[in-house]
């Protein structure tokens, strides 16, 4: 690649946690171009990952499949101005372990669970945290606080806004039997506490029903609904396009996702922006940007189906309370408007671009970490090799027929 060409074009490499195809299947891929390239700050964006295959153009990016061991070579060829991993898991290990001198590395961390924040994040030049809850976990793995930047997720308030059109709302209502509707949006995963939303239906009047939108294996939850005899009151939808979601948020009687943990909780801001009465868990990060009784109903005992049902019923039936939460939710979403968050993200990128490119100290840190990782892997390999013959010998000894005592 010619040096003159590189000098005039700003280039970004992103390493998403999931393949781009995952976003396409979920119906949420239309926002990727703006998400990965805020304000069109970069002239070229490459989504590079071992999870991809081949090379293709999609969503304003070049999607490129690269083997893990070839990642550093690919970066030398592409010569990006910044590399950013989305997630503190394997992609953080990849960009930190295979970093190229002179190219700043950023890692975004989206999860607040300790097991989803790998120690490699502390070797990034900048670590972007979605919330204070995430920041605490990033600090726990030894990250220098001076390298941490807080950046919430964003919502397009030109798209996610209250829908008042009676025809649009009636079009959704016509899909289901009459009644009150709880809307749950999130992948089919223990994190999203779908099981207790299903159980809460037992505690609610029979005209309450729940709609679950999200990808994943629904079979355990369908089986649970059968066991509880609420199967006919549960509706399952894999995905709804982003442009249609505002009408669903505006139509539902209650938006209820009582998550067991979150890194940020994107859907809560979407729902709030549309004026949905939000019911969720009283945990970080949701209680960082939603206030109980003002912009949402926050449930402390979110593992208790009766407690959930009680709050859902109040939100759905108490008109004044519902109106107050709806108005407060719209206001709570304003700081997350795309232009505001985009500007903050672009400032972090400018900071990364201005970092010294000869960081000898950082290279020493990375080399030390690589050595430690290699030693750990070698030690585990040795231990597994030693344990294998030992376990074989034990099985032989334990399987030998017992010898009867003399004289028996």
Residues 193 and 299 in one domain: yes
pLDDT of amino acid 133: 92
Residues 171 and 114 in one domain: no
The domain that contains 349 carries what CATH number?
A: 3.40.50.2000
Residues 179 and 96 in one domain: no
Whether the full predicted model's pTM is greater than 0.75, yes or no, is yes
In this predicted structure, the answer to whether residue 370 has a pLDDT above a threshold of 70 is no
| Residue 374 in domain | no
Residues 235 and 317 in one domain: yes
Residues 63 and 179 in one domain: no
Residues 328 and 344 in one domain: no
> How confident is the model over 317-368, as pLDDT tens digits?
999 999 999 999 999 999 999 999 999 999 999 999 999 876 544 555 655 5
In this predicted structure, the answer to whether residue 395 has a pLDDT above a threshold of 50 is no
Residues 95 and 218 in one domain: no
Residues 295 and 343 in one domain: no
pLDDT of amino acid 188: 94
Domain of 198 in residue numbering reads as 166-336
What count of other Cβ atoms lies within 10 Å of the Cβ of residue 225?
24
Residues 286 and 272 in one domain: yes
- Tell me what the pLDDT averaged over the chain comes to: 88
86-90, 288-292, 371-375: least confidently modelled range: 371-375
Residues 143 and 11 in one domain: yes
| Residue 376 in domain | no
| Residue 117 in domain | yes
Residues 206 and 243 in one domain: yes
> How confident is the model over 283-298, as pLDDT tens digits?
989 999 999 999 999 9
| Residue 230 in domain | yes
Number of structural domains (the chain) is 2
> How confident is the model over 177-216, as pLDDT tens digits?
999 999 999 999 999 999 999 999 999 999 999 999 999 9
> How confident is the model over 13-42, as pLDDT tens digits?
999 999 999 888 776 677 889 899 999 999
Residue 80 near residue 13, CB atoms below 8 Å: yes
């Amino acid at each position: 690649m010619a040096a003159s060409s590189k000098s005039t074009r700003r280039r970004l490499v992103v390493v998403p946690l999931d393949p781009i195809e995952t976003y396409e299947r979920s119906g949420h891929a239309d926002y990727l171009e703006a998400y990965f390239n805020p304000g069109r700050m970069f002239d070229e964006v490459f989504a590079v990952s071992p999870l991809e295959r081949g090379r293709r153009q999609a969503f304003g990016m070049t999607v490129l499949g690269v083997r893990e061991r070839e990642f550093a070579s690919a970066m030398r060829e592409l010569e990006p101005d910044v590399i950013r991993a989305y997630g503190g898991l394997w992609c953080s290990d990849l960009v930190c372990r295979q970093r190229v001198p002179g190219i700043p590395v950023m890692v975004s961390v989206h999860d607040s669970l300790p097991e989803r924040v790998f120690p490699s994040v502390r070797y990034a030049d900048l670590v972007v945290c979605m919330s204070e809850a995430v920041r605490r976990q990033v600090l726990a793995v030894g990250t220098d606080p001076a390298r941490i930047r807080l950046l919430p997720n964003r919502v397009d308030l030109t798209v996610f806004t209250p829908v008042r059109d009676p025809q649009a709302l009636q079009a959704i209502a016509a899909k289901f039997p009459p009644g009150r509707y709880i809307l749950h949006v999130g992948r089919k995963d223990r994190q999203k506490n779908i099981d207790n939303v299903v159980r809460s239906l037992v505690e609610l009047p029979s005209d309450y029903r729940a709609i679950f939108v999200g990808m994943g294996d629904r079979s355990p939850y369908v089986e649970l609904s059968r066991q509880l005899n609420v199967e006919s009151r549960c509706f399952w939808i894999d995905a709804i396009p982003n442009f249609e979601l505002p009408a669903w948020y505006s139509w539902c009687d209650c938006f209820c996702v009582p998550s067991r943990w979150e890194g940020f909780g994107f859907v809560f801001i979407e729902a709030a922006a549309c004026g949905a009465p939000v019911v969720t868990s009283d945990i970080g990060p949701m209680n960082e940007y939603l206030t109980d009784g003002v912009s949402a109903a926050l449930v402390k005992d979110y593992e208790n189906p009766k407690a959930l049902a009680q709050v859902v019923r109040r939100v759905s039936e108490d008109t004044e309370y519902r109106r107050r939460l709806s108005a407060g939710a719209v206001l709570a979403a304003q700081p997350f408007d795309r232009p505001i968050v985009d500007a903050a993200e672009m400032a972090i990128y400018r900071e990364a671009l201005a970092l010294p490119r000869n960081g000898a100290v950082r290279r020493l840190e990375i080399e030390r970490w690589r050595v430690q990782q290699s030693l750990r892997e070698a030690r585990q390999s040795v231990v597994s090799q030693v344990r294998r013959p030992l376990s074989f010998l034990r099985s032989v000894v334990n399987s030998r027929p017992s010898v009867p005592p003399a004289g028996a």
